[in-house]
Structure 1
Amino acid sequence: MRQKFPGINLNAKHIMNKMKRLKDKYSAAYDMLNTSGFGWDDALQCVTVDAQVLEEYLKKHPSKNYIANKPFPQYERLTRIFGKDRATGSLAESAADAMENINLESEVGADTDEFVGPFPTPSNGASASHIPQEGETSSKKRKRKANDSENMYKVIASGLNSLSEEVGKLVEVVGTPGLVTLNEELEKLGFDDSQCIALGMHFSNNPVQLRYWSTLADRLKQMYAQSILGKLDTREFIGIAHVPDTSSSTLKEAIVSMLANHQLSIDQVRGQGYDGASNMRGEFNGLRAMILRDNPSAHYIHCFAHQLQLVIVAVAKKHEGVKDFFEYLNMVVTTVSASYKRKDMIREAKRKRVADGIRSGEIKTGKELNQESSLLRSGDTRWGSHHATIVSVLKLFREVVDVLCYVKEEGDSTQQRSSAKGILSYFKKLEFIFNALLMQEILGLTNSLSKHLQKKNQDLLEASKLINGTKQALNDLRQNGFEDLMKKVTSFCETNHIEVLDMMGSYGNPRNRRNVVTNRHHFEVEIFNTILDMQIQELGNRFNEESTTLMYPVDFTMNERACILGELKVFYYSAKEDERFAKLDGMGHLARLMVETGKDLSFPLFYRILKLALVLPVSTATVERCFSKMKLIKADLRNRMGDEYLNNAMVCAVERETFDEVTNEDVMERFKNMKDRRGEF
């Protein structure tokens, strides 16, 4: 065996022990697959089953040493070794069976042969394995003996070949360099459970890389494994779950069950966030609290990739005046953009106004100036921009007024004319202009942060700076921005012939003397200050200072927490003198450089903090797009199909980069291997 498999330091005892363990594991998996409720996942290479079914099965079979939902990549290869097709007889004779048959044949030959010898040959013609029958001729006897000898040789050859194949397959399974102790070595090198699983699955699909990895020294092994992990995308879409209701307990049960189906635990969760503006309005506080009780490290983090402007608008709509403003804004865009004729009226009126302005000298000419523009609709999804809608309406204010006047006079129906009249009466009020310019100012201040938080790769340090800068800008607007805003409102109203109110005059119905307030008080206190206070409070609640504290205290002992600051100072002065740390490009680069230089071993606490910082629960745009994909896939046709189909369709749609590498031939081969009854391609 050493000659045939050089470099494999295994003896018969090793193989037999490993063979016994693998056979026990294979038998357990085989029994599960032949039990109702169990299935096989080709992608994960494991037996799949619901937690309840598995619990009932283990009560009846407590001795089974293979737990379902855990990877078992050797199963298919072991099927060729241990498997027996009881229906067709294929693979019905294993190596042990063949050797047993050889021994039985030898015993029969030893009892009946006329001479001593392990195996008769055709030349001696002396086999007595056949008892002569009465009436047989000598030529028939010799022919029968020769046939018996030939059959004996075939049995021996078949047994030896079967034994050789079985040993070869077994060595392939258990003798691959590094495969037996791969997980132990990875744990010694400092990789956590999820990293060990990812590397194990990668090496099982790339045996050449595994052999190369096994020849490296420990330092090089760690660097090589880190480089592989750096190329693996750890953000994966798991799936969706159907729930009978949306209570906190039901949602939590669905989350725990889905994690368990993927060999994950709620204890491994490091962050939680939820879809849409409901994430920001606290609609999932009950679920959030339940998960935090079970796992204090599952911090509730702002859904970073969520369109921040949508949240700003959602919060502002809690104010009745701003809510009315956005409703009328949508009605304006809908009415003006209802037909191509009205859109053409907008463009023609804008072209005429620009031409008149250029002739009078009011409008300057130049590159990228005075281009055609149209009204932009604010999308209902998280990717729509209300800021762009407000800017376009204010920019085309005169043209919009002309179209509304046209619809009021020439509308196709009484309803259209009445609706346009109501919109126009509100549209030409100072309050509409004030709300529009105020929301334009607020959304403009948060626009940079909103765009940054939607980047695919987050720079947390830069995001923190932008968050603090946005808070300060909103506070400054709250303290010093009202007078400047009123100047803009007054200027806009005078330019577009809108009545400017006396700020010291009474607001509302002057007959109601009980609650008389001035116009200034209404616009400054009841609108301006109130809306900005709501926005500042919302940002303070969602982007709090929690990230500046130790987020994962359970990952550090009391002694380690006491030593962290000192180790950090030592690392600072050590890295300051090292030229290799002079040009760092983010925390990810720092982590890789620490591994390459060995400082991860010299400063283990700081390196652990760095790893935790790199896995901060930040929901990127990739995660948010999962919800957008569901809206595309979950159509009326899909609603007549099962949840399994939706899961599969969602995986294909979300993980596009992964499935781009799958060829049509791979898909056809997969379908071909699933069931023969589906026909040939």
Structure 2
Amino acid sequence: MSDAKARTYVCSIERFDFILPLVVCEHVLQILAPLSELLQAKDSDLIEAMKETKAVYAVIQNERNDDMVWDALYASAVDFAATIDVEPSSPRCAHRQTLRANTPANSIDVYWKRSVFFPFYDHVLQELDDRLLGCSERFIAQYLIPSNLGQLTDNRVNALYEAFKADIPVSMAVFHTEVKRWITRWSLEDEENMPSSLQDTLHSVNPDLYPNIFTVLSVLISMPVSTASAERSFSVMRRVKSYMRSTMSTERLSALAMLHAHKDMPVDYEAVVKEFAQGKSRRLVFLFNNKESQ
């Protein structure tokens, strides 16, 4: 990095309009961090995530309306700015402003409260509501997992039907009957044979016998609550498709990415060698060598 570019970055950082938003973001992200980690887990519990989301939403909503929170954040930003000799300041308010928001304020702290604190808190609350709380009724479908059926009440079945009514072409009475059969079907199984994850449940449900439950679970499994899974896939592709493998085909890239992403799944090596050897006659040596080694 050149000295001129480093100097530009330093001048941009050592400004009060950078320090104060940084302090506000740090405070809000500390509240969101546990929820974010919960949502990024591979075996994320959506019901527990919704409970935590409601708690986080209430905390942020209360802080947004509490002047003492803003006063503490502003004082923290002023103290931090004083360590690098930066004085609190705000942009000049013009009568006719067209290039930026001309927030009216009679003091520096009021200006930053109206232009940074309130908009940022409102944005976070809106995102929590749109991405998570707005879909909370659909997440009730997690109670259809056999290990959670003991918590599935009639009221939750009603709420589940209302949430998926557009995807279920039957009446509520028919859906209730299907759910009762689903509960009875798993009550006859041993606990160790009950699926405990959404993916395992979807594999075990018969779409001919339980078409509506299969539809509900299919919709739920296609509703990612975060981008963590997609980001993991891109990370896998970056590790698999290196500069030494830049000419591999799409089929091989997809296969290697699946193997890398799901490396915890058991693999039948004999079946792999057999299928590979049967592809071409010159590969049969792999099959014979494998038998000899046994």
The equivalent position to 1:680 in structure 2, one of 285, 289, 294, is 285
Which position in structure 2 is the counterpart of 1:482? 70
Amino-acid identity (%): 20
Q: Does 1:645 align with 2:252?
A: yes
The equivalent position to 1:500 in structure 2, one of 87, 90, 96, is 87
Structure 2 length as normaliser, TM-score? 0.62
Distance in 1 (CA, whole Å) between partners of 2:278 and 2:247 is: 28
1:587–1:610 contact (8 Å) kept in structure 2: no
Distance in 2 (CA, whole Å) between partners of 1:616 and 1:499 is: 51
Which position in structure 1 is the counterpart of 2:220? 616
- Which has more helix, going by share of residues? 2
Q: Does 1:491 align with 2:79?
A: yes
- Which amino acid in the other structure matches residue 236 of structure 2? K
Count the aligned residue pairs: 228
Of the two structures, which has the highest relative contact order with CA contacts closer than 8 Å and spacing of 6 or more? 2
Distance in 2 (CA, whole Å) between partners of 1:477 and 1:587 is: 41
Using the TM superposition, give the Cα deviation of residue 530 of structure 1 relative to its aligned residue in structure 2, in angstroms. Answer: 1.5
Q: Does 1:525 align with 2:114?
A: yes
Q: In terms of Rg, which structure is larger?
A: 1
The equivalent position to 1:440 in structure 2, one of 18, 22, 26, is 26
> Tell me, what secondary structure is at the counterpart of 2:65?
helix
- Which amino acid in the other structure matches residue 673 of structure 1? Q
Q: Does 1:657 align with 2:264?
A: yes
Distance in 1 (CA, whole Å) between partners of 2:135 and 2:8 is: 48
Which position in structure 2 is the counterpart of 1:631? 238
Question: Deviation digits for residues 165-208 of structure 1, max 9, x if unmatched?
Answer: xxxxxxxxxxxxxxxxxxxxxxxxxxxxxxxxxxxxxxxxxxxx
Which position in structure 1 is the counterpart of 2:173? 560
Distance in 1 (CA, whole Å) between partners of 2:164 and 2:35 is: 26
Which position in structure 2 is the counterpart of 1:420? 6
Which position in structure 2 is the counterpart of 1:116? none
Using the TM superposition, give the Cα deviation of residue 654 of structure 1 relative to its aligned residue in structure 2, in angstroms. Answer: 2.4
Q: Using a 3 Å threshold, how does the CA distance of structure 1 residues 614 and 670 change in structure 2: closer, same or farther? A: closer
Using the TM superposition, give the Cα deviation of residue 485 of structure 1 relative to its aligned residue in structure 2, in angstroms. Answer: 0.9
- Which amino acid in the other structure matches residue 552 of structure 1? F
- Which amino acid in the other structure matches residue 461 of structure 1? I
Distance in 2 (CA, whole Å) between partners of 1:535 and 1:461 is: 21
Distance in 1 (CA, whole Å) between partners of 2:129 and 2:52 is: 13
Question: Deviation digits for residues 540-563 of structure 1, max 9, x if unmatched?
Answer: 2212434324333243622516x8
Question: Deviation digits for residues 59-118 of structure 1, max 9, x if unmatched?
Answer: xxxxxxxxxxxxxxxxxxxxxxxxxxxxxxxxxxxxxxxxxxxxxxxxxxxxxxxxxxxx
Question: Deviation digits for residues 317-349 of structure 1, max 9, x if unmatched?
Answer: xxxxxxxxxxxxxxxxxx6xxxxxxxxxxxxxx
Q: Using a 3 Å threshold, how does the CA distance of structure 1 residues 614 and 461 change in structure 2: closer, same or farther? A: farther
1:446–1:470 contact (8 Å) kept in structure 2: yes
2:278–2:284 contact (8 Å) kept in structure 1: no
- Which amino acid in the other structure matches residue 171 of structure 2? M
Using the TM superposition, give the Cα deviation of residue 486 of structure 1 relative to its aligned residue in structure 2, in angstroms. Answer: 0.9
Which position in structure 2 is the counterpart of 1:159? none
Distance in 1 (CA, whole Å) between partners of 2:30 and 2:16 is: 21
1:426–1:432 contact (8 Å) kept in structure 2: yes
Distance in 2 (CA, whole Å) between partners of 1:452 and 1:673 is: 45
Q: Does 1:464 align with 2:47?
A: no
> Tell me, what secondary structure is at the counterpart of 1:670?
helix
Using the TM superposition, give the Cα deviation of residue 623 of structure 1 relative to its aligned residue in structure 2, in angstroms. Answer: 6.0
Q: Does 1:473 align with 2:59?
A: yes
Residues 578-597 of structure 1 aligned to structure 2 (within 5 Å): 588=196
Question: Deviation digits for residues 264-292 of structure 1, max 9, x if unmatched?
Answer: xxxxxxxxxxxxxxxxxxxxxxxxxxxxx
Q: Using a 3 Å threshold, how does the CA distance of structure 1 residues 610 and 466 change in structure 2: closer, same or farther? A: farther
1:638–1:646 contact (8 Å) kept in structure 2: no
Distance in 2 (CA, whole Å) between partners of 1:643 and 1:498 is: 56
Using the TM superposition, give the Cα deviation of residue 537 of structure 1 relative to its aligned residue in structure 2, in angstroms. Answer: 1.5
Structure 1 length as normaliser, TM-score? 0.29
Distance in 1 (CA, whole Å) between partners of 2:214 and 2:281 is: 52
Distance in 2 (CA, whole Å) between partners of 1:627 and 1:497 is: 40
Which position in structure 2 is the counterpart of 1:551? 163
- Which amino acid in the other structure matches residue 252 of structure 2? Y
Distance in 2 (CA, whole Å) between partners of 1:640 and 1:455 is: 33
1:630–1:650 contact (8 Å) kept in structure 2: yes
Distance in 2 (CA, whole Å) between partners of 1:625 and 1:423 is: 31
Q: Using a 3 Å threshold, how does the CA distance of structure 1 residues 588 and 645 change in structure 2: closer, same or farther? A: closer
Question: Deviation digits for residues 498-549 of structure 1, max 9, x if unmatched?
Answer: 33327xxxx3347x55557542343111111112222222222212434324
Q: Which runs of 5+ in 2 are unaligned?
A: 98-103, 138-158, 184-193, 198-208, 287-294
Q: Using a 3 Å threshold, how does the CA distance of structure 1 residues 624 and 477 change in structure 2: closer, same or farther? A: same
RMSD: 3.9
- Which amino acid in the other structure matches residue 26 of structure 2? Q
- Which amino acid in the other structure matches residue 477 of structure 1? E
Using the TM superposition, give the Cα deviation of residue 433 of structure 1 relative to its aligned residue in structure 2, in angstroms. Answer: 1.8
Question: Deviation digits for residues 129-164 of structure 1, max 9, x if unmatched?
Answer: xxxxxxxxxxxxxxxxxxxxxxxxxxxxxxxxxxxx
> Tell me, what secondary structure is at the counterpart of 1:424?
helix
> Tell me, what secondary structure is at the counterpart of 1:657?
coil
Which position in structure 1 is the counterpart of 2:276? 671
- Which amino acid in the other structure matches residue 547 of structure 1? S
> Tell me, what secondary structure is at the counterpart of 2:264?
helix
Q: Using a 3 Å threshold, how does the CA distance of structure 1 residues 638 and 610 change in structure 2: closer, same or farther? A: closer
Using the TM superposition, give the Cα deviation of residue 671 of structure 1 relative to its aligned residue in structure 2, in angstroms. Answer: 3.0
- Which amino acid in the other structure matches residue 7 of structure 2? K
Residues 26-45 of structure 1 aligned to structure 2 (within 5 Å): none
Using the TM superposition, give the Cα deviation of residue 468 of structure 1 relative to its aligned residue in structure 2, in angstroms. Answer: 1.2
- Which amino acid in the other structure matches residue 654 of structure 1? A
- Which amino acid in the other structure matches residue 474 of structure 1? I
Q: Using a 3 Å threshold, how does the CA distance of structure 1 residues 587 and 482 change in structure 2: closer, same or farther? A: farther
